[in-house]
């Protein structure tokens, strides 16, 4: 299923808070409480934050300054999920 994933047409605005992450895209807001996130993972080009099998936030590499910034974001998410 992810092989057919297309990058979002509109930019995704992400805000990180101590207890959740908010993603805004096309006028729609999605809230991911750190306690509700089952997994965070990444590959060469995307970060995946999953609340369930069907509720996944996918952030492309282009959302980050570089690969290191993407990796740092994943580490931050993992830390906040553990708190």
Please state the pTM of the whole predicted model: 0.82
Strand order in the sheet with 28-33: 13-16, 20-25, 28-33
Tens place of pLDDT per residue across the chain (83 aa) = 455 555 566 788 899 999 999 999 888 999 999 999 999 999 989 999 999 988 999 998 988 999 999 999 999 999 999 98
Instruction: Judge contact between 22 and 29, C-beta under 8 A.
Output: yes
Calpha distance 58→71 (Å, rounded): 14
């Amino acid at each position: 299923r992810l092989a057919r994933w297309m990058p979002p047409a509109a930019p995704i605005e992400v805000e990180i808070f101590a207890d959740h992450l908010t993603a805004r895209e096309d006028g729609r807001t999605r809230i991911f409480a750190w306690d509700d996130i089952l997994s965070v993972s990444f590959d060469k080009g995307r970060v995946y934050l999953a609340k369930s099998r069907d509720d996944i936030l996918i952030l492309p590499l282009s959302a980050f300054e570089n690969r290191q910034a993407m990796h740092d974001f994943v580490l931050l998410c993992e830390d906040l999920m553990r708190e």
